[in-house]
Amino acid sequence: MKKENRSSLPTFEQSAGHYLADTQLRKNIGHATQTIRKKRDDVTGELPDWEELRESGRQIKQQVMNNLDDYLLELEESVTAAGGVVHWAADADEANQIVTQLIREKQETEVVKVKSMTTDEIRLNEALQNAGITALETDLAELIVQLAGDESSHILVPAIHKNRSEIRDLFKEKLNIEHLSDEPADLAEAARLYLRKNFLKAKIGISGGNFAVAETGTVAVVESEGNGRMCTTLPDTLITVLGIEKIIPKWCDLEVFMQLLPRSSTAERMNPYNTFWTGTTDGDSPQEFHLVLLDNGRTKVLADETGRQTLHCIRCSACLNICPVYERTGGHAYHSIYPGPIGAILTPQLRGLDDSSAASLPYASSLCGACYEVCPVKINIPEVLTHLRGNIVEHNKKNGGIRFKMDSTHVGMRLMARAFRSRKRYERLQKIGQTGQKLFEKDGMISKLPGELSKWTDFRDLKPIPKQTFREWWRDRS
Amino acid sequence: MNVSLFLTCVNDTLFPGTGKAVVHLLERLGHTIDFNPEQTCCGQMHYNTGYRDETVPLVRRFVELYEDAEAVVVPSASCAGMIHEYYPKIAETTGDSALEKSVSELLPRVFELSGFLVDKLKIEDVGAYFPHRVTYHPTCHSLRVLHVGDAPLKLLKNVRGLEFAELPNALECCGFGGTFAIKNSDTSAAMVGDKIHHIKQTGAEICVAADNSCLMHIGGAMSRQRSGIRTVHLAEVLASTEEKPGGKQ
Ligand code: SF4
């Protein structure tokens, strides 16, 4: 039996219209991304060796990907030697089980968390909830999203789609505050008081990590608020969940990434809080450190020569902020933890092409190339996008069944390909176009076309094909 | 010089005026033009939509047609970009080393029009006359795939009678993107909406670019809005003279 595309989630093109129509969202996201773009240009422009730094970042990551197995073993060894425990998780379920088990052993039911994409990817919070454990997000934006029962819409600024007064109303309701203004300082103070209580009583902290140094076993979290540092230093036990691609070989490599990351992401010269820890230290909490190394499809990505560069990503979100598609739809239309250009290439690779929602993402791009231009580790996102589109077409040719064979894009592509291979057929197609269009022409313009082509004329007119093609003019002239 | 014109399917069929303009312009500059009617399409639309196999015969066809050409001029930055950026990769995947070799030998002789004039022929003033207020949209592929740099601007600034108006947020995509404009037409429309907003801010009568496909999208949306602003390909501006004014629709 042929496999049909499966996913419970809608495709990008099904969702985009809904978000495009949300004028407040368009305004919030447009404003935020335009501002950060400008700032990013300024702080990257002031480094004379920015391009060399990008190239170094790319090369270090490439070296890691070419020898990932060796670096992983080296990391395990150095973390263990420093008093930490390394766990290996093949997929989301396994990772969630490991974390749940570790918390159960301590007989705790509440944990504090620092914002982590990786734990979002495996839906750790849900798994913990099912096991009767409450995970409190402590990153301010992530807390807002959690309180709202919403999903994050940006990898760095998860609440980018909300404005101040929306947040004020949320805090008043969920944190039981009677009077609250929508001044940033007041909002931050309200969150601070709420979080502080929880930090002080938490026995277990959960974090992600930005980098793990194979040579020393050091894990790094960079952030802006200090809440992450509270999560990683106050509790007795720290559990870090890390995708296996986050490795860098040596301590000195941090020099490169600690410049690339903050400038690309928050447009700062340095992150306000940079926390590094190596295993455990007697008398200085945490006394237990568990590192869960997650595969969850990453080795599959690694095996694809063109797709592999996706794993270089340091989750800076510069590509989201520059992307004209993301700017207009926001993150939710992607139905993925990783939205924007990086999501468009990472998600289908992690979830597989049978997932129709994920497989719609490589098409959610005009291939304008702005993402490639800003990526601090030079991931050629347009190249991976077209590569994945190629894989999707091949996949559909094999598994798509009759529905795909009848698909209008597919039919059109096949027809055109046939025509382009022969001058005679091509010229005949030009003639068919010239004659056929007469049905739709009105006042020298085509404003309504049938079928799939109506998606062009819904928004744009089309000038009819002129009576004489260039080749006819050329023939007559000579 | 004997110049082979690779016109591209969109120009041949929908915008013959651009092809004529290239012929007039290059002849005016003293070159002879050759147009081989066996040419069809560069394959970009197929390649970018994921139809890789369908692109291979077009790469072969291109090489066969132009192997001996002195210079191949393409009045479309995105098609020229496709040829430069992706033809070597496509040739590589066929495992046909002769094809790979022919592609790599041919590429240095393949030029987008503005690059051909400025970088190859070293001409910035082509003696054009175009008395209109004009803004220029640097299409994404001309900027970020082909890297034409400021060649089109140098040419435009030397056109007599032309009043140049800087386009705000010029570097942002217009939302065309080939089949993207259809598959994700809502998003594409939102993008072109903002592009048009910026074009209107310039007060220009005409928006110029080096790609008719982007102009077809921008112009089509402006026409739907009855904006009164027109789109004209760079070649047509450059071909226009006092004796033979262009830019009419
Ligand atoms: S793909 Fe590049 S720009 Fe985008 S988040 Fe990753 S590192 Fe940043």
Please give the average per-residue pLDDT across A212-224, as a whole number: 97
A41 touches chain B (CB under 8 A): no
Atom of ligand 1 nearest to the CA of A340: 4
Reported confidence tier of residue A212, pLDDT bands at 50, 70, 90: very high
Please give the average per-residue pLDDT across A448-465, as a whole number: 93
Q: Is the pLDDT of residue A151 over 80?
A: no
A397 touches chain B (CB under 8 A): no
- Could you read off the pLDDT of B6-41 as tens digits, one per residue? 999 999 999 999 999 999 999 999 999 999 999 999
B38 touches chain A (CB under 8 A): yes
pLDDT value of position B246: 73
Least confident window among A65-69, A213-217, A454-458: A454-458
- Cβ distance of A367 and B180 shorter than 8 Å: yes
On average, the pLDDT of chain B sits at 96
Reported confidence tier of residue A158, pLDDT bands at 50, 70, 90: low
Q: Is the pLDDT of residue B248 over 80?
A: no
How far is the C-alpha of A158 from the C-alpha of A139, rounded, in Å? Answer: 10
Q: What percent of chain A has pLDDT over 90?
A: 84
On average, the pLDDT of chain A sits at 94
- Could you read off the pLDDT of B200-236 as tens digits, one per residue? 999 999 999 999 999 999 999 999 999 999 999 999 9
pLDDT value of position A2: 38
Q: What percent of chain A has pLDDT over 70?
A: 97
- Could you read off the pLDDT of A385-398 as tens digits, one per residue? 999 999 999 999 99
Reported confidence tier of residue A285, pLDDT bands at 50, 70, 90: confident
Residue among A316, A322, A365 to mutate when testing ligand 1 (max atoms within 8 A of CB): A316
Least confident window among A45-49, A283-287, A400-404: A400-404
**Comparing B243 with B57, which gets the higher pLDDT?**
B57
- Cβ distance of B173 and A366 shorter than 8 Å: yes
How far is the C-alpha of A34 from the C-alpha of A238, rounded, in Å? Answer: 37
Stretch 82-111 of chain B: residues touching chain A, C-beta under 8 Å:
none
* Ligand 1 centroid distance, CA of B241 (Å): 48
Task: Identify which of A391, A461, A471 has the shortest CB distance to residue B223.
Answer: A461
* Ligand 1 centroid distance, CA of B80 (Å): 28
Please give the average per-residue pLDDT across A445-457, as a whole number: 92
By alpha-carbon position, which residue is closest to atom 3 of ligand 1?
A375
Residues of A within 8 A of B7 (CB-CB) are 470
Atom of ligand 1 nearest to the CA of A314: 7
Q: What percent of chain B has pLDDT over 70?
A: 99
pLDDT value of position A5: 52
A455 touches chain B (CB under 8 A): yes
- Could you read off the pLDDT of B132-164 as tens digits, one per residue? 999 999 999 998 988 888 999 999 999 999 999
* Ligand 1 centroid distance, CA of A148 (Å): 27
pLDDT value of position B249: 45
pLDDT value of position A6: 61
**Comparing A460 with A142, which gets the higher pLDDT?**
A460
Give the closest residue to B237 by CA, choosing from B194, B200, B205. Answer: B205
Least confident window among A1-15, A258-272, B102-116: A1-15
- Run of H or E including B79: helix B77-94
